[in-house]
Homo-oligomer: A and B are copies of this chain.
């Protein structure tokens, strides 16, 4: 479980939430799974450029163990596995919106009018 990697994660909501999204690619994964559910492993690999197979698998497992993503295995050949957000994961994504708006407003390079929608995604 991921949930005790930050100090105070056992009694502070923020630290606990940070523990869940701690991992270089997790926010990107949440983002992609929100944009379109039922993503396959290879799709995610392509959608999140730079992540290795090992780390992608590991972070998906952690998100699964934390109840954020659901992993559906189809018994076919070739194999097929689909990942999607759980209701809890969708709530988490919602809770991240305020943070995303703050970042967009204050940190991103000044956007041309019309660009940079409310919650722009990675890559």
Contact = CB atoms under 8 A, between A and B. Distances in A.
Interface of A: 3, 6-8, 10-21, 24-25, 27-28, 31, 48-50, 67, 88, 91-92, 94-109, 119-123
22 contacts: A7-B25, A7-B49, A7-B122, A8-B28, A8-B123, A12-B103, A12-B120, A13-B99, A13-B103, A14-B27, A14-B31, A15-B103, A16-B104, A17-B99, A17-B100, A17-B102, A18-B103, A20-B107, A67-B106, A88-B106, A95-B99, A95-B101
Contacts of A103: 12-18, 20
Contacts of A20: 103, 107
Contacts of A7: 24-25, 28, 48-50, 122-123
